[in-house]
Every structure is written in C-alpha cells, then in structure tokens.
C-alpha cells in the first residue's frame, strides 16, 4: 500500500510510527478504479437536481472536485440530511461511492450525499496525505450544499474508509458545530492527534466505527477510539456478542454524544458488506452502510 511521495503528514510522528500506521491511509484496489468514471459533466455553478452532478470549483489556486448525488424527485425546496463520504488513498469520490453504496441508500432513504476528491488521490488527514487545507475545502462545500442545495445544517454527517476515515475524525475536531455524527470505517484517531489531550471535539459529535481484528493496524485503531472515549468521558457498556464473532459496544459520553464500536474478528482493512471494489468485505456479517445510516438519521446536531 503506497505512501504519497513528497507530501509529509500534517501531524509529525516518529518514523517507526509512520512505518506502522501510514498504510491506514491506503488503499484502493485496481478493481475500484473501474468505478471512477464520472457520469455527469463537470461544472462550476451547480444546479440542484436529482442524480449525480460532478462539480469543479476554483479553491486556493487549485481546481477542486466533488460529486453530489441527490435522490429521485429532489428539488432545492427540500431540506434533506447531508452525508459527506470520503475516499481512501489512493482514490477519489467515485471509489468512495463504489465501496459504500451510499448513493443507492440515499435514493431509498431520501438524503443528499457528496463525494469530495482529494488532491493527488488523498486527503490531508491525521497521518497522510499531503499539505492541502482539506478541512477548509470540506467546510466550503458543506456551506455550498447547505445554501445552494438547502441541506439541513442540523443533519450533516461524515463517513469514510482508511484515509477518509481518518479525515472524518479530523473534521469532527476541526469543524466544530458542523457534524452531528461521523462514521469512520477501518480508520483511526491516530498520530499526535491521539497524543495531544487538547485535540478533541469542542461540540458533541457521535461516532459509529468498524474495526477489523485482521487489519494489520487494528491495535492502533482500537487504541485510538479508546483514547477518544477517555477524553470525552464516555462510559462503554458491556460488549454485545453478535454473529460472525462480532462484538458491539455502546458508550455514552459526558457531552451528550455517544460512541458505537463494531469489532469484527474476521475482517481486515475493509468496509463491511460494501457495495463493491477490493475494499468491500461481503462476508463481514453486518452491513456497515445500513448501520451507518440508521445511526445518522437518529442524531441531530443541537444549535448553540
């Protein structure tokens, strides 16, 4: 799983830790690249409508791209929840859509989903990749989607896998009063972010996460979510044992958020029962996309 050349991580960590953890920012298999051809023409001024729309905007000297998917019958008079889905490294929004199957879920459940493209196929997350202000970029597209597309400001969510999962933690911390919940899949609260006690959300953000015990970096990711819970004074309940040797824990936190962790004994660096591509695990025993949406739709950010 390759690193991104010439782009140091935002958070400096020891070389040995980089060697251990940087693969969390990867990878997309060759099979995922088949899903990356956009179905809509790129544009600068988006027009809210059903289906897929690939949008290019000038931002800080670069052309940044994101794809918006709206369910059938959508009009800008509708105020729908918004899910921001973040791809692994190396990848793009098409890979996130292919792995997660969130567009089909949006059609069933009536919400908006957007798939941002990282520059050079990665996001500047907790360990990798690049030096771009991806937090600022995602802040910008979130504002566009809550204004032009009339997305519900109280129901904005982020999810992602690997590098995209790491990025969802970063967004929860660095964009306060934006997200009601996040859903990192096969990713973690890692690097010096996990070592810095002040690096935590300043407003409540609930978390649902999926960790595979066969993932090479399971130990680091598992410690990351434990650190998150410790900082927010979350109290985990007794683990529930599910089929396929899956354990589920639920924790309630002092700030009113909650944390749900699925630990999958037989899964590696994957999306449980994803829609397609090399990072989907069809044998995981649970469907992460279904569980993520059930978690999201019952959580609303309280305005402050």
Q: What are phi and psi of 221, to 5 degrees?
A: -70, -40
What local confidence, expressed as pLDDT, does residue 44 receive? Answer: 56
| Global confidence as pTM | 0.88
What local confidence, expressed as pLDDT, does residue 303 receive? Answer: 59
- Detail the DSSP E strand segments found in 90-234: 112-116, 156-161, 181-185, 206-212
What local confidence, expressed as pLDDT, does residue 13 receive? Answer: 30
> Cα(151)–Cα(146) distance, rounded to whole angstroms?
4
Q: What are phi and psi of 247, to 5 degrees?
A: -115, 140
What are the structural domains of the chain?
15-297 (3.40.50.1820)
Q: Which of 13-17, 23-27, 213-217, 260-264 has the lowest mean pLDDT?
A: 13-17
Checking if the pLDDT of 105 tops 60, the result is yes
Q: How confident is the model at residue 46 (pLDDT cuts 50, 70, 90)?
A: confident
Checking if the pLDDT of 170 tops 50, the result is yes
Q: How many Cα atoms within 13 Å fall on the side-chain side of residue 1?
A: 25
What local confidence, expressed as pLDDT, does residue 39 receive? Answer: 42
Q: How confident is the model at residue 302 (pLDDT cuts 50, 70, 90)?
A: confident
Q: Which residues contact residue 108 at a Cβ distance below 8 angstroms, ignoring those fewer than 6 apart?
A: none
Q: Which of 28-32, 40-44, 128-132 has the lowest mean pLDDT?
A: 28-32
Checking if the pLDDT of 27 tops 90, the result is no
Q: Which residues contact residue 5 at a Cβ distance below 8 angstroms, ignoring those fewer than 6 apart?
A: none
Checking if the pLDDT of 192 tops 90, the result is no
């Amino acid at each position: 799983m390759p690193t991104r050349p010439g782009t140091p991580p935002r958070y400096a960590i020891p070389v040995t830790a980089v060697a251990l953890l940087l693969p969390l920012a990867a990878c997309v298999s060759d099979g995922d690249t088949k899903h990356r051809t956009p179905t809509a023409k790129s544009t600068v001024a988006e027009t809210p409508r059903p289906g897929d729309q690939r949008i290019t905007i000038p931002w800080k000297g670069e052309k940044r791209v994101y794809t918006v998917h709206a369910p059938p019958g959508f009009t800008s008079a509708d105020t729908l929840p918004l899910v921001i889905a973040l791809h692994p490294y190396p990848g793009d929004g098409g890979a996130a859509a292919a792995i997660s199957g969130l567009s089909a879920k949006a059609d069933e459940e009536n919400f908006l989903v957007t798939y941002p493209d990282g520059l050079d196929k990665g996001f500047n997350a907790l360990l990798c990749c690049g030096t771009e202000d991806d937090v600022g970029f995602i802040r910008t597209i979130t504002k566009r989607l809550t204004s032009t597309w009339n997305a519900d400001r109280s129901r904005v969510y982020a999810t992602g896998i690997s590098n995209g999962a790491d990025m969802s933690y970063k967004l929860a911390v660095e964009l306060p009063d934006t997200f009601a919940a996040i859903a990192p899949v096969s990713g973690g609260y890692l690097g010096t972010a996990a070592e810095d006690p002040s690096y935590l959300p300043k407003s409540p953000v609930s978390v649902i996460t999926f960790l595979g015990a066969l993932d090479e970096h399971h130990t680091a990711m598992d410690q990351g979510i434990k650190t998150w819970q410790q900082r927010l004074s979350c109290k985990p309940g007794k683990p529930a044992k599910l089929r396929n040797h899956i354990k589920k824990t639920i924790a309630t936190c002092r700030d009113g958020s909650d944390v749900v962790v699925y630990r999958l004994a037989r899964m590696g660096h994957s999306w449980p029962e994803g829609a397609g591509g090399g990072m989907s695990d069809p044998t995981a025993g649970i469907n992460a996309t279904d569980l993520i949406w059930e978690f999201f739709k019952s959580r609303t950010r309280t305005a402050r």
